[in-house]
Amino acid sequence: MQRYTRRAVLGLIGTASISALLAACGGGQATPTPAPQPSPTSAPAQQPSPTPTTAAAPTPTVVATQPKKTLRVGFAISKSGPYAAGAGITIYPNYVLWAKDVNDAGGIKLSDGVYTVELIEYDDQSSPEEAIKAIQRLVNQDKVDLLLPPWGTAMNLAVAPVFHQLGYPQLGVANLSDKTPELVKQWPGYFSFLGTSSQYSEAVADLLSDLANQGKIGKKVALIYVDDAFGLELSEAARKKFKATGFELVYDQGYPLGTTDFQPILTDIKQRQPDAFVACSYPADTLTLPEAAMVVDFNPPVFLTAVGTAFPVYVGKFGQNAEGVMGLGGIDPKAPGLMDYYKRHKEVTGQDPDRWGSPVCYASLQVLQQALERVGKVDRQAVAREVATGSFQTIIGTVKLEGNIYYGNWLLGQWQNGEFLALWPKNKAAATPIVPKPAWKK
């Protein structure tokens, strides 16, 4: 008997303490996620044919009083696994925000009525197999009208054949690669809104050349890169361009994914006194490198890290020390509509968007919406053609794709006074570079 009482007491304490801990720290984590429930108003005709159904009389003047229809938009995204961090910052919140914005504004106007957006989502667990299964399920069982892409180059490439085979356009955002121009030849519905890797590498070399020509820095560059497809592709293009423009690479080494100790690397680099430090890094490395740099007091005139520099968590972590750090992305706060987007993003999703892929992701959804409205019906082939050829007004300005790729992004930015301002391309820069970078404050 005594044993049972003790167990009961232990159990009670356990449940109470765990729930108290969770309640204390889990507050304010609103997840506005419409659960993937098969709605009774299912399947609003896979291909709404020009011969409208009874409800949709072609009388555009009384649109507002018509019963609304649902546009089913499905996606598989990494909510767990290694890709969850990137997907959770750059992609997923934008899907939620976009659906809300569209529905708040009344919906999407097609020729046979106004459609509200319903999101249907699955977790692909950062596994390509799961993503493919989820997409097949979305199309075959949930009968979605449109699909949205996953996060990450590898993931986008994995699902691309399925999108293509099922005839859905894939407006990829986080699918940066130099192979895209080749790939779109076999998959005409495959798009990339962030551009190509070499675009960014060349921008780095061009920016450094520009600074060197102004006499602000010398010609010695230290380059490190994460040892995977992304880091290799990015550093390869950068290396070529550096050599072509007369830069001397005083250090050029890869490091394994998941490295947390950068002190030996930076100690070595510091002795070689580079004018610019360029790291083709992933978010976790990007957030660790400045720490090691502060410890060994390595403060080159240009300190440039790749993915993650534009994340809100970066300035949250480093505060004043973020000042002068350069990275991929950047924004112009004066661009019309952009700051409004930042405000709404924070209000609706409860988190700040990043200063690179986030606005581009939202813009890609605006493109999709406008293309759909121009076509006037859920004709996916026609929508893909319109996305490829049309020009669209978005929060990042006018978007016009060339060969299914958008090349007009801000490529490089620098943290200045708590904002990640675009530096390159020079003709649409929001600020002039602060070089040399201010010293680390301790």
Partner 1 sequence: MTSILDALVTGLVYGGIYALLALGLTLQYGVARILNLAYGDFLIAAAVFATLLYQRFQLSPLVSLLLLLPASFLIHLLVYHLVFVQLERRRGSWRAMEASSILLAFGLSFVVSGAMLAIFGGKLFSYSYLLVPVQLLGSVVPANRLLALVLALAFGGFAYLLLVRTRIGTAIRAIAVDPDGAPLAGIDVRRWAGLTFAFGGIICAASGVLISMFQTFNVPMGVTFTLKALVVVIMGGVGNAVGALVAGLILGVTESFVARFISPGLTLAAVYGLFVLAVLTMRTGIFGRALR
Q: Which residues form the interface with partner 1 (CB under 8 A)?
A: 7, 10-11, 13-14, 17-18, 21-22, 25-26, 29, 31, 78-85, 87-89, 126, 224, 227, 253-256, 258-261, 263-265, 267-268, 283-284, 287-288, 291, 294-297, 311, 313, 316-318, 351, 442
Closer by beta carbon to partner 1, 26 or else 246: 26
Q: How far is the CB of 118 from partner 1 (least distance, A)?
A: 22
Q: Among residues 244, 153, 152, which one has the least CA distance to residue 204?
A: 244
Contact 72, 143 (CB under 8 A): yes
Tell me the β-bridge partners of 391: 400
Q: How far is the CB of 316 from partner 1 (least distance, A)?
A: 8
Q: What's the angle, vertex CA 169, arms to CA 167 and CA 173, rounded to 5?
A: 150
Closer by beta carbon to partner 1, 44 or else 308: 308
Q: How far is the CB of 354 from partner 1 (least distance, A)?
A: 11
Q: How far is the CB of 31 from partner 1 (least distance, A)?
A: 8
Q: How far is the CB of 356 from partner 1 (least distance, A)?
A: 15
Closer by beta carbon to partner 1, 38 or else 319: 319
Q: How far is the CB of 80 from partner 1 (least distance, A)?
A: 5
Side-chain-facing half-sphere of 101: CA atoms under 13 Å = 19
Q: Among residues 282, 321, 338, 225, which one has the least CA distance to residue 89?
A: 282
Q: How far is the CB of 133 from partner 1 (least distance, A)?
A: 19
Closer by beta carbon to partner 1, 190 or else 303: 303
Closer by beta carbon to partner 1, 76 or else 110: 76
Q: How far is the CB of 360 from partner 1 (least distance, A)?
A: 19
Closer by beta carbon to partner 1, 341 or else 440: 440
Closer by beta carbon to partner 1, 36 or else 81: 81
Q: Which residues, 6+ apart, have CB-to-CB distance to 64 below 8 Å?
A: 106, 114
132 CB-contact burial (10 Å; exposed 0-12 / middle 13-18 / buried 19+): middle
At residue 255, φ and ψ (nearest 5 deg) are -140, 150
Closer by beta carbon to partner 1, 146 or else 155: 155
Closer by beta carbon to partner 1, 69 or else 79: 79
Q: How far is the CB of 36 from partner 1 (least distance, A)?
A: 15
